[in-house]
Chain A
Amino acid sequence: MQQHLGRQVGVGKVDVSLVDGKVVIYPKEDSHFDPVAIFKAVYDSGVSVTEMTITANGELLDDPAKGTVFRIASNEVFEVKPNVISEQWMRQAGSGKNIKLRGLLYKKPSGRVKRKAPETFPLEILEVLN
């Protein structure tokens, strides 16, 4: 799996821990982040994703149509699941300030096995790192 993921476009380094089923991917500089592609690449290597979190820099923006969004780049924008942290940040810092965060993009629903990548990846902010 390490080799398979490491060959994916935009992947700089991959650490795999067999014992606890954890994989850490370090993207290359200026690479495009595509959670669906990661989902698929992991599945193609014979396992399935149960949880995906990211550590990223970007901006929290107030989008009139989607609500709060996390914008990493012009083509990497994620809707934010409102929680205490996102609401507090928007209230204190306002829209458009740079933020470094750790956020949950996907968690497998309990019960049935779901192999297909979800269509959307709403971001739940777990902690602000700056």
Chain B
Amino acid sequence: MTAKRLSLFLFIGMTLAAGAIQAHAGKVERIDLKVEGMT
């Protein structure tokens, strides 16, 4: 594998990893609702 190809793989891998971390920076743990009209 050439150094150029290796650096391309590394670049793609790091970009994907950064995207995955960015996409899941946080999380909604619970949603509390008050509702009306419930019988």
Does B25 interact with chain A (Cβ within 8 Å)?
A: yes
What chain A residues lie within 8 Å of B12 (beta carbons)? none
Q: How many A-B residue pairs have CB under 8 A?
A: 101
A73 touches B36 (CB 8 A): no
| A interface residues, tally (CB under 8 Å) | 36
Does B35 interact with chain A (Cβ within 8 Å)?
A: yes
Bound Cα distance A58, B34 (Å): 23
A58 touches B36 (CB 8 A): no
A24 touches B34 (CB 8 A): no
Chain A positions within 8 Å of B, measured between CB atoms, are 1, 16, 18, 21-27, 29-30, 33, 38, 42, 46-59, 71-76, 98
